[in-house]
């Protein structure tokens, strides 16, 4: 077998691994400073080729570091249905990436033997990249890896992460999901948007207008391309489009969410509807400022609630008995969970942080709505649900109200990118819902009021001392920590708090929410002190928030 890896050995010497460098494949794939990634990209090209041979399907490789600074980069693999790669292949990715140069071929051989891969099987890999200056050379390293194992690569060039997920799914479903081209993506989504907004009469230009912060990334480029498909149905004012600003610098969804303020480079008047993408356009948050200048953020929780409300109303109008659920993480605001469970009467499932966990849980229902608070999410429809909706649209005995609701559900399915969270798709869905329901962003925001919350982090000598259970909402180690948190929470009204270790650095993340911001800040600080003293905090003791 080693003879079959001769070309790999030759090519590998052109993409050498820095000795001692260790990286972990996580929810976001590999991500670090771009200068350390050339060997990783080559090896992920090899791994994607093996995965393609194993599954006898197209595999995707996306070169991006999402909301990270411009000098970083990263890579993630996409499985045949557009989903994230399976957990065992995440393990293989880590093993292959971290094998020293002399052991690298052995690691590759081990994966091939474990998976009983026929190396003569054809392999096809789709490759895409974001707008970082390092992305072009790094995506070439991926394609070098593909060709070294006799695979075929298709270079999609500059695309959003969700677009590449979409293309992989389209190709592997023989076009039943859509056409595997960027133009096909634009056509499917814009056509569904047009059909939906036809149900919203007498929309004014103000109601059609939206400010979009493109984070100076790939999303800005692709929104600009899509505008011509939307004609006059949505009028976009695009800011941070990459012509002058720096990627993700003081702009983008992550900045707006964390800083709780509008991005730089965008001038908005009171009440104007605005949204921000992240660097690879798989996250979105909405916001506005009121007449008194106060900033209002509508994050993933608000988005999930709006979409769920819309879908539940349509299901009722269509008299369809489909089980709808919302999947959240521990970071979801308690007010959103309470509204969904108590007012909306829908199932709420809590999972560990990480989109792959939410996506998996959402697949258990007829309709699964999932969004992380950071704005990354989508909606999944089971095949049975899609078929029930389709049959209702074609039933000649269906009354007008049921048929209208079924058609709206049908177009909603087509506007959604079910493979992964997609800022462009989610933006169009939100805009269509607001139009159909004749809602302003202020009315949307008023559905429920977020509880004040605070996120902090504590540096520790080893984050592995923290172990959690109950979807990361309770700590089982170190001893005494959860008891301390429970005691602190009892001192405040409508309070909850939890801690969880970072997946990438030796820090422990602290989350707290209570009835008032002052109380919340006090609780977050007290929990941080408990972590510092019980979990091996390093550096200065956490100071009170001012």
Residue keyed to tokens 């056409």 = 179
Distance of CA 271 to the CA centre of its chain: 27
User: What element of type H or E holds 347?
Assistant: strand 347-351
Residue 70's DSSP bridge partners are none
CA distance 206 to 209: 5
Quote the CA–CA distance of 421 and 285 in Å, as a whole number. Answer: 12
| Both tokens assigned to 95 | 């093993």
Compute the C-alpha angle 297/130/150, nearest 5°.
Answer: 140
Closest CA to 127 of 161, 96, 94: 161
CA–CA distance, 362 with 382 (Å, rounded to integer): 10
Q: Phi, psi at residue 459, to the nearest 5°?
A: -75, 135
Joined tokens for residue 325: 């659920």
CA 118/CA 356 separation, integer angstroms: 28
Q: Give CA–CA dist 340/219, Å, rounded.
A: 31
Handedness of CA 99, 100, 101, 102 (dihedral sign): negative
Cis peptide before 478 (omega within 30 of 0): yes
Q: What is the dihedral of CA 47, 129, 285, 376, to 10 degrees?
A: -10
> Residues near 248 by Cβ (< 8 Å), separated by ≥ 6?
67, 68, 69, 70, 215, 216, 217, 254, 255, 278, 279
Q: How crowded is residue 1: how many other Cβ atoms within 10 Å of its Cβ?
A: 10
How far apart CA 194 and CA 191 sit, in angstroms, is 5
Nearest C-alpha neighbor of 214 from the set 284, 299, 267, 269: 284
- 312 membership: H or E segment, kind and range: helix 300-318
Sign of CA dihedral 480, 481, 486, 490: positive
Whether the CA torsion 217, 161, 41, 255 is positive or negative: it is positive
Q: Which of 165, 158, 6, 145 is nearest to 83 (CA)?
A: 165
Are 236 and 210 contacting, i.e. CB atoms less than 8 angstroms apart? Answer: yes
What gap in Å lies between CA 348 and CA 512, rounded to an integer? Answer: 20
Task: Check: CB of residue 379 under 8 Å from CB of residue 310.
Answer: no
Helix (H) or strand (E) holding 61: strand 59-63
Catalytic option among 12, 33, 52, 66: 66
Q: Angle 131-422-356 (CA atoms, 0-180°, nearest 5)?
A: 105
Residue 340: which residues within 8 A CB-CB, separation 6 or more? 304, 305, 308, 326, 346, 348
> Can 66 be counted among the known catalytic residues?
yes
List the catalytic residues. 66
């Amino acid at each position: 077998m080693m003879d079959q890896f001769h070309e790999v050995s030759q090519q590998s010497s052109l993409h050498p691994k820095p000795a001692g460098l260790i990286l972990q494949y996580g929810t976001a794939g590999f991500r670090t400073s771009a200068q350390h990634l050339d060997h990783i990209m080559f090896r992920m090209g090899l791994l994607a080729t093996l995965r393609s041979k194993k599954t006898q399907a197209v595999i995707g490789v996306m070169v991006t570091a999402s909301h990270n600074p411009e000098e970083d980069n990263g890579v993630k693999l996409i499985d045949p249905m557009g989903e994230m790669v399976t957990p065992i292949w995440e393990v293989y990715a880590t093993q292959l990436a971290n094998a020293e140069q002399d052991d690298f071929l052995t690691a590759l051989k081990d994966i091939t033997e474990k998976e009983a891969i026929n190396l003569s099987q054809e392999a096809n890999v789709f490759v895409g990249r974001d707008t970082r200056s390092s992305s072009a050379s790094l995506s070439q390293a991926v394609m070098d890896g593909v060709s070294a194992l006799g695979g075929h690569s298709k270079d999609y060039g500059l695309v959003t992460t969700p677009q590449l997920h979409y293309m992989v799914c389209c190709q592997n479903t023989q076009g039943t999901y859509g056409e595997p081209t960027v133009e096909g993506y634009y056509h499917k989504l814009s056509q569904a948007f047009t059909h939906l907004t036809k149900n919203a009469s007498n929309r004014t230009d103000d109601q059609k207008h939206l400010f979009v912060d493109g984070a100076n990334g790939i999303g800005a480029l692709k929104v600009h391309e899509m505008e011509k498909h939307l004609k006059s149905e949505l009028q976009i004012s695009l800011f941070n489009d990459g012509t002058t600003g720096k990627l993700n610098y003081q702009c983008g969804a992550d900045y707006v969410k964390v800083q709780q303020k509008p991005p730089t480079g965008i001038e908005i008047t009171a009440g104007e509807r605005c949204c921000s993408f992240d660097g690879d356009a798989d996250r979105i948050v909405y916001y506005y400022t009121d007449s008194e200048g106060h900033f209002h953020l509508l994050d993933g929780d608000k988005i999930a609630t709006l979409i769920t409300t819309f879908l539940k109303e349509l299901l009722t109008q269509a008299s369809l008995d489909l089980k709808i659920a919302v999947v959240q993480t521990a970071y979801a605001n308690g007010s959103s969970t309470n509204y969904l469970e108590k007012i909306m009467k829908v199932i709420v499932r809590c999972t560990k942080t990480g989109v792959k966990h939410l996506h998996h849980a959402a697949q258990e229902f007829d309709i699964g709505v999932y969004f992380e608070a950071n704005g990354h999410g989508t909606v999944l429809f089971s095949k049975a649900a899609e078929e029930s909706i389709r049959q209702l649209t074609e039933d000649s005995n269906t009354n007008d109200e049921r048929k209208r609701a079924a058609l709206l559900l049908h177009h909603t399915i087509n506007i959604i990118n079910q493979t992964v969270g997609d800022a462009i798709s989610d933006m169009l869905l939100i805009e269509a819902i607001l139009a159909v329901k004749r809602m302003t962003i202020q009315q949307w925001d008023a559905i429920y009021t977020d509880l004040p919350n605070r996120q902090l982090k504590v540096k520790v000598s080893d984050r592995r001392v923290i172990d959690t259970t109950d979807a990361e909402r309770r700590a089982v180690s170190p001893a005494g920590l959860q008891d301390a948190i429970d005691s602190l929470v009892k001192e405040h009204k409508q309070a909850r708090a939890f801690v969880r270790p970072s997946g990438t650095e030796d820090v422990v993340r602290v989350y707290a929410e209570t009835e008032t911001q002052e109380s919340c800040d006090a609780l977050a600080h007290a929990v941080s002190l408990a972590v510092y003293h019980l979990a091996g905090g390093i550096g200065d003791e956490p100071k009170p928030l001012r």
